[in-house]
C-alpha cells in the first residue's frame, strides 16, 4: 500500500524499531523501576536512554524533566489540567487539534477563560493577534507547531519571546513536528512541550511525552505506584515519578528510542529537507490539476508534509475510498479531529482529503498519488 497517512501515525518504522522492541521484550522485559534485579535495571536503563535521546533532540538540559505518556493527548491533558485553575485565562490558536480544544472546553465549564485567536487563511497565527488577547489573568499560551490540517508551521521563536515578555507559560503541541522539523525548547523558550512518539519520532503507538521546564509546577492527572517512596500515601514530588504512575510502556519506549536514534543519526535537517522536497513536488503537481484546491501555506520553508485538498464538489470520504480501493493509496478524509482548524480555512462543512508525507516516501510515491488525484479529478 502507498502510505500517505503519516500525520495519523508514521509507517513504516525503521527496522531497528521492530528489532529492539522484540529484543527488549525477550531479553529484559521486566518492570523498569519496580525491582532491583538485573533485568529490571536494564529495563530502567533503556527508559533513561530514551529520555536522554529525546533531550538531545529537543535541546533539553535535564532528561528527567521529560515525562512519558501514552500519547500526545495525555501529555496535553496533563499540562492544561495540571496548570490551569478556575479564574485563569488561556490563549490558543484556532488551528489547535481537538486534543487541545476538548480538554480546554471542559475546563471552561469549570471557570477557566478561553480566548481562541484566529489564524490566517494559511493556518498561521500572528503574534500581534495574540498580544491583543492577553489579559491580566492570562496564564498559558498554547500553539501547535504545525497544523495537522494545513501543515503550516508557526513561528515558535517569536511567539516564545512574546510569552516570556508577558510572563505567560508557553506550551507547544509538537505532535506533527517532533522528529521531522527542528524543535529547541531553549531557543524557542518553550515551557511545556507535548509530543507524540509514533508520528515523526518513528516510534510505536502507545508512546508520547511532555517536557516540563523547571519551575513550572503541574498538578498530577493520575497518582499511583511509582516504585519510589512506597511508604508515602501521597504522590512523590520529584520528576519524572510524579507524573509517571503505573507501569511504563517499556517495549514502546525501547522502540521509540530507536526511532529517535534513527533521527539523530540521519540528521533532522536531512529529514526535513527530504520531506520538504517531496512536499514542494506534490504541491506543484497538485497546482497543475484542474478542480483541485490546495489549502495551507505556500511558503515552503514554513510547511511540513501535510497537504489538504478538496476536489471540486466531491465528498472527501468517497475520494479517500477510491484512493484506497482503486489506487491502493492510504490517505485520510474528513475533519481530522480539528474542527476549529477547518472553520479557519473554510472547510468545516466538507472536510479535506489529507495526504501526509513521511521520511520513507519517495518521489515515485508522489508521482503515483498525483496520477490518482488527476484521474479522480477527471482532468
Residues 130-189 close enough to bind its own copies by CB under 8 A:
none
Residue 355: φ, ψ to 5°: -105, 125
- Is position 46 an interface residue for its own copies (rule: CB under 8 A)? no
- Is position 11 an interface residue for its own copies (rule: CB under 8 A)? yes
8 A C-beta contact, residue 208 and residue 174: no
Strand order in the sheet with 352-356: 292-294, 306-311, 352-356, 332-334
**Footprint on residues 250-289 left by its own copies (CB under 8 A):** 250-252
Q: What are residue 144's DSSP bridge partners?
A: 173
- Distance in Å, CB of 93 to its own copies, minimum: 14
Q: Binders of its own copies: how many residues, by CB under 8 A?
A: 88
Alpha-carbon span 336 to 352, nearest angstrom: 8
Alpha-carbon span 13 to 72, nearest angstrom: 18
Nearer to its own copies, 35 or 133 (CB): 35
- Is position 86 an interface residue for its own copies (rule: CB under 8 A)? no
Contacts of 26 (CB under 8 A, 6+ apart): none
Largest pairwise CA distance in the chain: 70
8 A C-beta contact, residue 202 and residue 179: yes
Nearer to its own copies, 57 or 341 (CB): 341
8 A C-beta contact, residue 259 and residue 197: yes
The whole-angstrom distance between residue 372's C-alpha and the CA centroid of its chain comes to: 28
3-class secondary-structure state, position 115 = strand
- Is position 16 an interface residue for its own copies (rule: CB under 8 A)? no
First to last CA, the chain: 24
- Distance in Å, CB of 161 to its own copies, minimum: 29
Residue 122: φ, ψ to 5°: -80, -15
**Nearest residue to 332 (alpha-carbon basis) of 10, 8, 1, 2:** 8
Nearer to its own copies, 166 or 371 (CB): 371
Q: Which of 55, 66, 71, 176 binds its own copies (CB under 8 A)?
A: 71
Number of Cβ within a 10 Å radius of residue 370: 19
3-class secondary-structure state, position 196 = strand
- Is position 360 an interface residue for its own copies (rule: CB under 8 A)? no
Nearer to its own copies, 105 or 293 (CB): 105
- Distance in Å, CB of 342 to its own copies, minimum: 8
**Footprint on residues 231-250 left by its own copies (CB under 8 A):** 231-235, 245-250
Nearer to its own copies, 298 or 317 (CB): 317
Q: Which of 91, 101, 163, 210 binds its own copies (CB under 8 A)?
A: 101
Q: Which of 120, 315, 324, 368 binds its own copies (CB under 8 A)?
A: 324
Q: Which of 14, 51, 55, 74 binds its own copies (CB under 8 A)?
A: 74
Nearer to its own copies, 107 or 188 (CB): 107
Alpha-carbon span 32 to 161, nearest angstrom: 38
Nearer to its own copies, 103 or 151 (CB): 103
**Burial environment of residue 3 by CB neighbours within 10 A (0 to 12, 13 to 18, 19 or more):** buried
Nearer to its own copies, 6 or 276 (CB): 6
Nearer to its own copies, 11 or 182 (CB): 11
Q: Which of 60, 92, 304, 335 binds its own copies (CB under 8 A)?
A: 335
Nearer to its own copies, 41 or 127 (CB): 41
- Is position 205 an interface residue for its own copies (rule: CB under 8 A)? yes
Query: Per-residue DSSP letters for 292-319?
Result: EEE-S-S-GGGB-SEEEEEETT--HHHH
For 369, the enclosing helix (H) or strand (E) is helix 363-377
Q: Which of 64, 134, 216, 221 binds its own copies (CB under 8 A)?
A: 221
- Distance in Å, CB of 135 to its own copies, minimum: 21
- Is position 331 an interface residue for its own copies (rule: CB under 8 A)? yes
- Is position 1 an interface residue for its own copies (rule: CB under 8 A)? yes
- Distance in Å, CB of 137 to its own copies, minimum: 22
Amino acid at each position: 500500500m502507498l502510505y500517505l497517512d503519516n500525520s495519523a501515525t508514521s509507517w513504516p518504522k525503521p527496522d531497528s524499531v521492530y528489532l529492539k522492541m522484540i529484543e527488549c521484550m525477550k531479553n529484559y522485559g521486566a518492570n523498569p523501576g519496580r525491582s532491583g534485579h538485573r533485568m529490571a535495571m536494564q529495563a530502567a536503563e533503556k527508559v533513561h536512554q530514551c529520555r536522554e535521546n529525546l533531550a538531545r533532540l529537543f535541546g533539553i538540559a535535564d532528561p528527567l524533566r521529560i515525562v512519558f505518556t501514552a500519547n500526545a493527548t495525555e501529555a496535553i491533558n496533563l499540562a492544561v489540567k495540571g496548570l490551569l485553575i478556575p479564574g485563569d485565562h488561556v490563549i490558543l490558536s484556532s488551528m489547535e487539534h481537538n486534543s487541545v480544544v476538548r480538554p480546554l472546553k471542559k475546563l471552561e465549564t469549570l471557570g477557566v477563560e478561553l480566548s481562541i485567536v484566529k489564524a490566517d487563511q494559511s493556518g498561521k497565527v500572528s503574534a500581534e493577534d495574540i498580544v491583543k488577547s492577553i489579559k491580566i489573568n492570562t496564564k498559558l499560551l498554547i500553539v501547535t507547531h504545525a497544523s495537522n490540517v494545513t501543515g503550516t508551521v508557526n513561528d515558535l521563536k517569536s511567539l516564545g519571546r512574546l510569552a516570556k515578555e508577558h510572563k505567560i507559560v508557553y506550551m507547544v503541541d509538537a505532535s506533527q513536528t517532533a522528529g521531522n522539523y527542528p524543535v529547541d525548547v531553549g531557543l524557542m523558550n518553550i515551557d511545556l512541550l507535548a509530543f507524540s512518539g509514533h508520528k515523526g519520532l518513528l516510534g510505536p503507538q502507545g508512546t508520547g511525552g511532555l517536557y516540563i521546564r523547571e519551575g513550572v509546577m503541574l498538578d498530577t492527572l493520575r497518582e499511583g505506584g511509582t516504585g519510589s517512596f512506597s511508604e508515602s500515601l501521597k504522590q512523590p514530588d520529584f520528576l519524572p515519578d510524579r507524573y509517571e504512575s503505573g507501569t511504563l510502556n517499556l517495549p514502546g519506549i525501547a522502540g521509540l528510542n530507536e526511532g529517535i536514534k534513527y533521527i539523530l543519526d540521519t540528521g533532522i535537517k536531512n529529514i526535513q529537507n527530504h520531506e520538504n522536497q517531496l512536499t514542494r513536488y506534490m504541491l506543484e503537481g497538485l497546482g497543475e490539476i484542474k478542480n483541485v484546491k490546495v489549502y495551507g501555506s505556500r511558503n515552503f520553508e514554513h510547511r511540513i508534509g501535510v497537504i489538504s485538498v478538496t476536489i471540486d464538489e466531491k465528498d472527501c470520504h468517497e475520494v479517500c475510498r477510491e484512493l484506497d480501493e482503486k489506487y491502493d493509496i492510504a490517505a485520510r478524509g474528513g475533519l481530522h479531529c480539528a474542527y476549529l482548524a477547518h472553520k479557519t480555512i473554510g472547510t468545516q462543512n466538507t472536510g479535506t482529503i489529507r495526504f501526509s508525507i513521511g521520511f520513507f516516501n519517495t518521489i515515485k510515491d508522489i508521482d503515483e498519488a498525483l496520477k490518482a488525484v488527476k484521474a479522480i479529478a477527471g482532468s
